[in-house]
A and B are shown apart, each in its own frame.
Chain A
């Protein structure tokens, strides 16, 4: 299985801050990487697919970058509604599709 490791596992930030979350794959996955946002008690929502493509309706303050084994999700100006858990997913190998452990973004 391809292991996805996120860092940090949690962070505290203030409204307006620039936040960067990292996801590392255990082997090269090209750009087969998605990012999801999950709020407590809710289903995940797709933010970014194919490493850097913004899902329709997602604010432009979210961006994704990377290829190979190292990927980042950046929020340029954190908004109150962005406090949530963010999770990466690789789709290079479908057997199985695997998710990272998540990064919880909390209010400082």
Chain B
């Protein structure tokens, strides 16, 4: 059974780079069934999709974060990672990694994406 676990160095200071890693177990990150995604949730607020990556390195980023966000994959370690630069207090959130299934839909070139495996989440506080 696929399991995901986020890890990171803890609190981050404003203007620094936030780095997180998601370790995948119970399956291969090279699976053609999954993209791998990051989603965050500020305290008391809703979910925000940050981006997805395929094991080949192909990425989709939320345009609102694209200038600051890098998602990468390390197939040798069965891990994928997030780097968010120039953080501010607004980046304080619980960060989740997820396995994202992609399936063809009724419409040509439009795919269903659904996050059916999630990590437990890690709280990142941006504070000086």
Contacts from A to B (Cβ < 8 Å): 30-32, 34, 36, 42-46, 49-50, 55, 87, 89, 91-92, 94-102
Return chain B residues, CB-CB under 8 Å to A100: 46
Return chain B residues, CB-CB under 8 Å to A91: 111-114
Return chain A residues, CB-CB under 8 Å to B46: 87, 99-102
Q: Is the pair A31, B106 in contact by a Cβ cutoff of 8 Å?
A: yes
Would you call B14 an interface residue if the criterion is a C-beta within 8 Å of the partner chain's C-beta atoms?
A: no
Return chain B residues, CB-CB under 8 Å to A42: 120
Partner of B121 from A43, A45, A55 at Cβ < 8 Å: A43
Contacts from B to A (Cβ < 8 Å): 46-49, 52, 60, 62-64, 96, 101, 103, 105-107, 110-116, 118-121
Q: Is the pair A96, B114 in contact by a Cβ cutoff of 8 Å?
A: no
Q: Is the pair B114, A95 in contact by a Cβ cutoff of 8 Å?
A: no
Return chain B residues, CB-CB under 8 Å to A96: 49, 62-64
- Given A43-B119, A50-B105, does the pair A34, B47 have CB atoms closer than 8 Å? no
Q: Is the pair B60, A95 in contact by a Cβ cutoff of 8 Å?
A: yes
Q: Is the pair A45, B105 in contact by a Cβ cutoff of 8 Å?
A: no
Name A87's closest neighbour in chain B (CB-CB): B47
Return chain A residues, CB-CB under 8 Å to B49: 89, 96-99
In Å, the complex CA distance between A91 and B39 comes to 14
In Å, the complex CA distance between A34 and B96 comes to 17
In Å, the complex CA distance between A55 and B101 comes to 12
Q: Is the pair A97, B116 in contact by a Cβ cutoff of 8 Å?
A: no
Name B113's closest neighbour in chain A (CB-CB): A91
Return chain B residues, CB-CB under 8 Å to A45: 118
